[in-house]
Amino acid sequence: MDGHGIEAVSTEMELLEKDQDTEKPKKVKGSQKIHKRPEWANKAEFVLACVGFAVGLGNVWRFPYLCYKNGGGAFLIPYFVFLLGAGIPLFVLEVGLGQYLSEGGISAWRISPAFKGVGYGTTIICFWLNIYYVVILAWSNLYFVFSFTTGPLPWSTCNNWWNTDKCFVIHSNTTGKFQSDIVDSTVEFWENRIQKMSTGIGDFNFINWELALSLLFSWIVCYFCIVKGVKSTGKVVYFTATFPYVMLFILFIRGVTLDGAWEGIVYYLSPDMSALLKPQVWMDAGTQIFFSYAIALGCMIALGSYNKFHNNFLNQCYFICLLNSATSIFAGLVIFSVLGFMAKVMDVPISKVADSGPGLVFIAYPRAVAEMPAAPVWSVLFFFMIFLLGLDSQFVGMEGFM
């Protein structure tokens, strides 16, 4: 090849490189890129990190309760309307924005002066989310530790130092006691042993050292999960984002084999179409989508920013959204199969044992587990699953915040 040919090829390659460079956006004004932004080692790390953050406690303790409260199977109609109309589009928007700009939750929104405040607002929300979410990890740690026993679970009896004269257990004789004056042993364990609640505003208790140390342990675990940025986070999520599904499946098998499980599942999914006429049902569906998909927290922008620029994130987002919603529905089967069993044991309607939030995870479910054969085993599995679900959301949220 003569000199002119070599020069022509060289010029063509330079032009090609320029064209590729122009595909990438210029840096957002106000951002300072000191070094090259780290990237996920592979696509699986990004997907698992998003799954770990989005699939959390809300799938286990919030969605099942909202579903049965708002018309059972009928609730899935407004749920999927908001999912297709808002959840998936906004999820894709945040991931795509982060990947395109390679910026975090604050600087990415500087793409337009009108959106500058959005980044600060979402970061503040993410900050408060990290503060309260880690407390739930501390609670689950203590329940996990207390589950290691060769005898009955500690919340299933009334002969402990934290119990009061009002304490009662299922099947116990409450003759001579007013029904309004008795307290379930599970509730007393939650209030008097785990939280050590004071009697009122004038009662200043000492520091709950068990809970404080459990909280410290949770922060330390989160620190080691993100100590090397996406390099460590990307490796940790291989376990923390997948193992809860193993636990959930094991608990599902155990749940559906219990007496009364089918009644609980039917109660969970039986459609009441008249509920669709209530505005509150649609509001609950919308808020659940935003809560479950971590919309407007800035964390999905941060996770997307670690992708390669030409990564095909669209199919990944569709898969994450499908898995998230499927997990919510499946978790409801797990929870209500056990609640159906509990309702049959207590001989009460399922509505009397169903609850949401901490009441479901730390009172209703432990009460039901205590009635199962080999109760400590199922309790250990359940609270380890709760810890991993919360841990994922916590340390990925911290990664997104920083």
Binding-site residue ranges for Na(+): 52, 54-55, 59, 292, 324, 389, 392-393
> How far apart (Å, rounded) are the C-alpha atoms in residues 49 and 71?
33
Nearest to 50 by CA among 398, 299, 402: 299
Q: Per residue, what are the HEC states of the chain?
A: CCHHHHHHHHHHHHHHHHHHHHHCCCCCCCCCCCCCCCCCCCHHHHHHHHHHHHCCHHHHHHHHHHHHHCCHHHHHHHHHHHHHHHHHHHHHHHHHHHHHHCCCCCHHHHHCHHHHHHHHHHHHHHHHHHHHHHHHHHHHHHHHHHCCCCCCCHHHCCCCCCCCCCEECCCCCCCCCCHHHCEEHHHHHHHHHHCCCCCCCCCCCCCCHHHHHHHHHHHHHHHHHHCCCHHHHHHHHHHHCCHHHHHHHHHHHHHHCCCCHHHHHHHHHCCCHHHHHCHHHHHHHHHHHHHHCCCCCCHHHHHHHCCCCCCCHHHHHHHHHHHHHHHHHHHHHHHHHHHHHHHHHHCCCHHHCCCCCHHHHHHHHHHHHCCCCCHHHHHHHHHHHHHHHHHHHHHHHHHHHC
Q: How far is CA 101 from the centre of its chain?
A: 27
Q: Are strands 183-184 and 167-168 parallel, antiparallel or unpaired?
A: parallel
**What does the buried/exposed string (b/e) look like for 360-375 if buried means 16 or more CB atoms within 10 Å of the residue's CB?**
bbbbbbbbbbbbbeeb
Query: What residue has token string 């929870």?
Result: 335
- Binding region: 52, 54-55, 59, 292, 324, 389, 392-393
